[in-house]
Amino acid sequence: MNKRGFTLIEILVVVGIVALVGTLAAIAVNAARSKQRDATRLSQVRLVQSALEDYFNETNAYPTGEVLPLGDARQSACLGSGGFAGNCTGDQAIFLRVVSATIDKGLHGQALCGDPARNAFCYTQTLEGTGYKIEFELENALVQARLVKGINCATPDGISGGECE
């Protein structure tokens, strides 16, 4: 060190430490955002499941649909007494006014449906209307909930990790 201030090595060490701390902070923020997106996706699937149970209680069947991308503005933006539709105006009852689409960011295209195919909550009626399955993708595993990174499945019995059967 001379009378004018810090040496070049000291300045480089300080800059390196600041860069390292900044990088670690960015990684932590990205991980937190990824987990928040998954929490939102899971909440949206649970909301749809609740609306589907209300629909079933009224109609004694789940809505028709085969590999239907939920939240699609043309086909499944809402859930009314007529089933999933782009617009529920005129339906006697509305079970879910806005069916949310999945958040695309961070997904790897494992749960694809629709035309054109895209990341989605993919709904299919099963067992001649007495069941359904919704395949959806998560960015991270949620060990406590037994959900996996990638494809997961929602049915009337709950949510489980892995593809629907």
Q: What would the two tokens of residue 47 be? A: 């909301």
| pLDDT of 36 | 96
Q: How far apart are CA 76 and CA 105, in angstroms?
A: 21
| pLDDT of 12 | 79
Q: Say if residue 3's pLDDT is above 70.
A: no
Q: How far apart are CA 143 and CA 164, in angstroms?
A: 18
**What does the angle CA 134 – CA 138 – CA 139 come to, to the nearest 5 degrees?**
165
pLDDT (average), residues 35-57: 97
At 115-164, the pLDDT tens digits run 999 999 999 999 999 999 999 999 999 999 999 999 999 999 999 999 99
At 54-75, the pLDDT tens digits run 999 999 999 999 999 999 999 9
